[in-house]
Amino acid sequence: MENAIRGKSFSYIKRYWVLYAMLSLPMAFFIIFRYIPMGYIIIAFKKYSIIKSPLEMEWAGNHGFEYFIKAFSNRDFLYAVRNTLGLNLLDLVIGFPAPIILALLLNELAFKRFKRFTQTIVYMPHFLSWVIISGLALQLFAPSTGLVNVMLNKMGFESIPFLNDSGHWVVTYILLGIWQSVGWNTIIYLAAIAGINPELYEASAVDGASRLRNIWHITLPGLRPTIIVLLVISLGHILSSDFDRPYALSNTLVTDVSNVISIFVYNYGIRGLQFSLSTAVGLFQSVVCIIFLFGANALAKKSGERGIW
């Protein structure tokens, strides 16, 4: 019996072996660059030394948890956690619905050429790196030389401290994030909308439904599985943090809100040479992300959706 199955799967592999050979490349990539490096997580529990292999390094104090204790008793780290959660939550609350709304709006445009043109324009910022965006932001929003503030001053208003006041900076940060990614993120929703059965719209037209009713009763429900999948993935990133976006946009006046975990890791790990500490922080971050991912997925499944696996 077993032999039969084995024989069967072997002949299956033999038949499609070219496909398996092609699969070996991505597999090799993941094993070499994603799984083997995971072994180095052990650095979080050891005293880092540049000249020893991770296996030979001495164990850290407190049963190997010295660096975790150090991180959690470090005020900067706690602030970094708070800022990461705060900025990501704002991104989620404000940034997540934005592409859905934009996709719905684009979908309602009757004039196809204009729709395509608009779509292209809103994609564009996605291709700009954050370093360039931060340069643009300085040119536009600097308090005394920024174009926007110069115009405000000429009109007799005070400068708005877009970049040099913590509260304003958060708003600038979130809005620039939306500006950069909203167009790109609509692609997936527009694709999902294109997949909705047109007969539904025809039927509702016969029933005399208005546009808003169409959106509410057909388009949005059609988008629901996609929205749920993307939401689950976003929740999985709740504690992960970009580096380039906050680092490029931040300056010394707003570090109390802009220092996120990745910047903490950069300052303490790469610049401060505390590799064990930063590995511990990275590990903590990944574990929290995984918990959120599983949790969100389980919730999604419970509420009758498909989830992501």
Partner 1 sequence: MGFRRGWTILAASSTIALALAGCTNNNAAPSDSPASPAPSASATSSASPNDSNAELDKLGLDSNLKFKETRKITVEVYDRGNDGGSKPEDNFYTQYIKDGMLRDHNVEVTFVPVPRWTEGEVINNLLAANQAPDIGVTYDYATIQTYANMGGILDLAPLVEDNKAILPNLWGYLTETNINWDKDPSTGTLWALEARLNTLNRINTFVREDWLKKLNLPAPTSLQEFEDMLVAFKDNASTLLGSDADKMIPFSTSFDIGWRADHLTASFVPNDITDRDIFIHDFDDRHLLYPNYKEGIRVLNKWYNEDLIWKDFPLYPAGDQTEDNLMKAGYVGAFIHNWDYPYRNGNDSIHASLQKLVGPDAAYIAIEPFANDAGDYKKFLSGPVDRKVFFPASNKEPVASMLYLDWISELDNRVFLQFGEEGVTHEKMPDGSLATIAATGEKIMNSPANIDYTITSNGLDLGDPDLTVKSMANGYAGVDSRFIVTANQITTHEGRIGKNANVGAIQAEDGQGQALKEKRDTFLNKAVTASVDKFDSVYDAGMKDYLNSGGQAIIDERTSAWEKYFGNETMLK
Please report, as ranges, the residues that interact with partner 1 according to CB under 8 A. 17-18, 21-22, 24-25, 28-29, 32-33, 36-37, 40, 48-53, 56, 74-76, 138, 142-145, 159, 163-164, 251-253, 255, 267-268, 270-275
**Smallest separation (angstroms) from partner 1 to the CB of 153:** 8
Residues 102 and 186 sit within 8 Å (Cβ to Cβ): yes
CA dist list (Å): 85 to 117, 241, 258, 259, 289: 36, 9, 11, 11, 11
Length of the chain: 309
Please report, for residues 5, 58, 114, 165, the alpha-carbon distance to residue 98 in angstroms, rounded to integers and kept in the order given.
Answer: 51, 50, 20, 25
In angstroms, the first-to-last Cα distance of the chain is: 31
Cβ nearer to partner 1, comparing 50 with 212: 50
Residue number with CB closer to partner 1 (138 or 209): 138
Q: For partner 1, which is the closer residue by CB, 53 or 303?
A: 53
Min dist CB 237 to partner 1, Å, is 26
CB of 164 to partner 1, least distance (A): 6
Q: Which is nearer to partner 1, 20 or 117 (CB)?
A: 20
Nearer to partner 1, 33 or 111 (CB): 33
Least separation, in Å, of the C-beta of 53 and partner 1?
3
Distance, in Å, from the CA atom of 229 to the CA atom of 305, rounded to the nearest integer, reads: 9
Nearest approach, Cβ of residue 220 and partner 1 (Å): 42
